[in-house]
Amino acid sequence: QKEVEQDPGPLSVPEGAIVSLNCTYSNSAFQYFMWYRQYSRKGPELLMYTYSSGNKEDGRFTAQVDKSSKYISLFIRDSQPSDSATYLCAMMLSGGYNKLIFGAGTRLAVHP
């Protein structure tokens, strides 16, 4: 069993839709949870991070963590064609220069 499971998609939605991306994990010691966006042939860029259960909102993006269920989600409201990318969840055991464990990434396509 992989430490972090993420459905690779692809996921295709119309512009304006609400997108839900999810990851599950098996290691209850993970403390930091991140979502990265990666455009084709580019390095990942950090979208959101959180370290506690609950919701965190940033513009059109909402990150949700449920530690009891070992489940994290990223919601994108009013999706735009520019949101088309691969979204990777990542987790870290503790803060301070520790390695990230990535999910497989979900490819998202938002069509006009």
The one segment of 12-20, 63-71, 77-85, 101-109 that binds other proteins by CB under 8 A: 101-109
Return the residue of 33, 103, 108, 110 that touches other proteins, per CB under 8 A: 103
Nearest one of 40, 29, 32 to 3, comparing CA atoms: 29
Nearest one of 107, 112, 111, 110 to 37, comparing CA atoms: 107
Under rule CB under 8 A, residue 32 binds other proteins: yes
**Count of residues making up the chain:** 112
Q: Please say which residue, 96 or 112, places its beta carbon nearer to other proteins.
A: 96
Under rule CB under 8 A, residue 44 binds other proteins: yes
Exposure of 112 by Cβ count < 10 A (0-12 exposed, 13-18 middle, 19+ buried)?
Answer: exposed
Residues forming contacts to other proteins in the complex (CB under 8 A) are 6, 8, 32, 36, 41-46, 49, 88, 92, 95-105, 107
